[in-house]
């Protein structure tokens, strides 16, 4: 949807020779396959309805998040780059399908029905998703393209990222004017000016502090789940460890 030529270091599906616009139909094919497989392997079981409901719920939220991400570029700049906007986009675009859905499916299959426990699991998933998205934003600017598999385009595309939202929080009037003039322009010189401003505002250091504090917050949320769910805690701690790598 963002016309990116690469995805996870490989050509985006629509860029593969012979695919093109047929990628849209392929997406519907994949989504339909989810419900075919759910019915094939879980149809008639007590968990079937809950599994289907979970996929419907998270699919809708993810579609909303993707729409927010795309439409954010069309909002007046002074209203666009606020941290609450980043958090909303990260929650719906990333957190729900990347972390909340797998955890929720695991809870359903494990027979966890505690009405107080499920929201705690969701909270951890949402927090992990925001950290994951903020880290992705950071790597888009500060990462090595050879390592992350793509050239960063968030600045030139005017994406509502953690970095620009933090920069707008910290910038004085003059610095803000520079960001407003150069952010979101497909021009290498403008991109370099924005990166220089990020450096001036020490965005990389602010990100590392945010990431460290967020990780600590997530660990506290996991600990709050309680000793009766040690296996669940172990799984959640494993996810935290993966993000630390």
pLDDT at 146: 73
pLDDT at 75: 64
pLDDT at 15: 87
- The residue among 131, 143, 29 whose CA lies nearest residue 90 is 131
Query: What global pTM score does this model have?
Result: 0.89
Which superfamily does 47-244 belong to? Farnesyl Diphosphate Synthase (1.10.600.10)
Q: Do residues 197 and 212 lie in contact, with contact meaning Cβ atoms separated by under 8 Å?
A: no
pLDDT at 13: 84
Rounded distance, CA 224 to CA 158, Å? Answer: 38
pLDDT at 229: 83
177 φ, ψ to 5°?
-60, -40
Q: What is the mean pLDDT of each run of 10 residues along the chain (245 residues)?
A: 70 86 90 97 97 97 91 69 95 96 95 88 96 96 81 90 97 96 95 98 98 96 85 93 86
């Amino acid at each position: 949807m963002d016309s990116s030529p690469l995805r996870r270091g490989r050509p985006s599906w629509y860029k593969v020779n012979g695919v093109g616009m047929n990628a849209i139909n392929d997406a519907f094919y994949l989504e339909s396959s989810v419900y075919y497989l759910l019915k094939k392997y879980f149809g008639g079981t007590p968990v079937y309805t809950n599994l289907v409901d979970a996929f419907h719920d998270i699919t809708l939220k993810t579609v909303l998040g993707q729409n927010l991400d795309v439409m954010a570029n069309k909002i007046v700049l002074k209203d666009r780059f606020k941290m609450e906007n980043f958090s909303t986009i990260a929650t719906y675009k990333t957190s729900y399908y990347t972390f909340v859905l797998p955890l929720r499916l695991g809870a359903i299959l494990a027979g966890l029905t505690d009405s107080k426990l499920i929201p705690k699991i969701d909270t951890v998933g949402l927090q992990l998703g925001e950290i994951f998205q903020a880290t992705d934003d950071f790597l888009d600017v500060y990462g090595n393209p050879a390592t992350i598999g793509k050239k960063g385009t968030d600045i030139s595309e005017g994406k509502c990222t953690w970095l620009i939202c933090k920069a707008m929080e910290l910038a004085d009037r003059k610095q803000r004017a520079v960001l407003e003039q150069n952010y979101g322009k497909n021009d290498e010189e403008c991109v370099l000016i924005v990166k220089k401003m990020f450096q001036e505002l020490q965005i990389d250091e602010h990100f590392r502090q945010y990431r460290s504090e967020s990780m600590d917050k997530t660990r506290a949320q996991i600990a709050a789940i309680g000793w009766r769910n040690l296996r669940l805690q172990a799984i959640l701690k494993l996810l935290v460890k993966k993000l630390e790598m």
